[in-house]
Structure 1
C-alpha cells in the first residue's frame, strides 16, 4: 500500500489505454481571458487541454506523472504543451505562474489524505491570487457493489472509506463531498454541480464539479 499517490506502473501500462470522460463546463470559464495561463494537472493524454485550446484558450500547459499517457497525448495532439511530472506533486514552475488550474479525475487517483493535501498545497503555490481551481471528481456511490468494495478496503488496509481497488489493479478513491470541500481552505467556492459520468472502466457513476477562487 505504499506510494498510493503515484501508481506509475498502472498508469504506464493498463491505465495508458483508458478513455476519460469528465465533461468541461465552458460556461464556468466564460469570463476567463482566452490568454489566461491554464495548467491541467494530471492531464493524461490531453483531452481537456485539447478542448480548451479548441475554444480559444491560447496558453494551456499540461503535466502528468505517466510517461505513457504523455506519449499518447503528444501523438494525438502534437501542438499541445505536455510534460512528464518527475517529482509529484512538485511542479517545475515558480509561484503564481497560472491563472487557472484544472484537476479532472485526479484526486480520485490519489487515495491518501496527506498526498491529496500536498497536491492542493502545490496548486495554491502556483495559482495567482484570485486564480481559479476547477475540480471534477468522484463522489461516494450508494450501490451495493461499491459499498462492499469500500468496506473491504477499509478492513484490509485501514484506508479512508471510499478507497478501493479496481478489477484491473488501480487503487482509487470516491469522496464524501465534505472531504473535497475540506481540501480547499485557501479558496472560496463559487460554483458546484453534480454530474453523471462513465468511469474509465465503463461504469455509470456520480461525480461532482467544483469551481473555487484562491483568496
Structure 2
C-alpha cells in the first residue's frame, strides 16, 4: 500500500465507522472451528460478529495500526494484527477455510493491486474454501457520476477528506475469482464511511476442491 493511503487509514480513516452488513445465515452449516481470515478487518467489527456467533478461530489483518489498536481496545479477545506488507499474508498456503473481504476493494483502486490481493487470498485459501465479499458498486446519481469523470479505471475518485476509493461494476467483482462457484449473492444499500447511501454487492464464492468447512 502506498504511504499516502496508509497515512489516511492511520489518521482520518481510523475514526470511521463501517456498516456493510453480514448475513450470518450465509455461513450456516460451516463448522465453528473453521479457520477464518478477516482481510482488511479495520477495528474488528465483522470479526467480533463472527466471534459472537461462536466462531473461535478468527484472525483479522489490516494495514492500519491505528484501526487495529482501536479494535484491540474494544475487543481484547480478538486476534487482530497489523499487515505490514500487503497483500502478503503471514499464513501458510491452504491454511484458511473462509476469507472475509468487506469494503476492502474500494480502498484498492488499481486493477493490478486487486489482482495481487485476490491471488494471495487464493494461495492461503484451502480447496473448497469460501470467500465472502462485500463491496461498493458503481452508483448512478449525479454526485458520483461527476466524481467518476476522468478516473482511471472508471469508478476511481478521491473523497473530500482525501481517501482514494473505487466503485465497481458487478461483473468486475464477480470476475475477480475465476473458476470459483458463486454460492449466493445479493445487493444491499449501505451507508458509506462518510455517511452517504450507496448500493453494494455481496458475494459468497467457493474455491474449487473438496470443502472441509
Q: Is the 8 A contact 1:34 1:57 kept in 2?
A: yes
Q: Which residue of 2 aligns with 1:201?
A: 194
Q: Deviations over 1:131-188 (max 9, x none)?
A: 000000000000000000001x42xxxx111000001000000000011111111411
Q: Which residue of 2 aligns with 1:21?
A: 19
Q: Which residue of 2 aligns with 1:73?
A: 71
CA distance in 1, matches of 2:103, 2:179: 20
CA distance in 1, matches of 2:71, 2:118: 24
Q: Structure 1 stretches (4+) deviating beyond 2 angstroms?
A: none
CA distance in 2, matches of 1:67, 1:59: 21
Q: SS state of the match for residue 7, structure 1?
A: helix
1:132-171 mapped onto 2 (5 Å cutoff): 132-151=130-149, 153-154=150-151, 159-171=152-164
Q: State whether structure 2 residue 174 is matched by structure 1 residue 181.
A: yes
Q: Which residue of 1 aligns with 2:109?
A: 111
CA distance in 2, matches of 1:183, 1:132: 14
Q: SS state of the match for residue 87, structure 2?
A: coil
Q: Is the 8 A contact 1:91 1:122 kept in 2?
A: yes
Q: SS state of the match for residue 121, structure 1?
A: helix
CA distance in 2, matches of 1:97, 1:186: 20
Q: Which runs of 5+ in 1 are unaligned?
A: none
RMSD (Å), alpha carbons:
1.2
CA distance in 1, matches of 2:176, 2:108: 13
The partner residue of 2:97 within 96, 99, 107 is 99
Q: Is the 8 A contact 1:124 1:186 kept in 2?
A: no
CA distance in 2, matches of 1:67, 1:115: 20
Superposition TM-score, scaled by structure 1 size: 0.95
CA distance in 1, matches of 2:168, 2:40: 18
CA distance in 2, matches of 1:186, 1:104: 21
Q: Aligned pair count?
A: 208
Q: Which runs of 5+ in 2 are unaligned?
A: 209-213
Q: Which residue of 1 aligns with 2:85?
A: 87
Q: Which residue of 1 aligns with 2:39?
A: 41
CA distance in 1, matches of 2:106, 2:90: 23
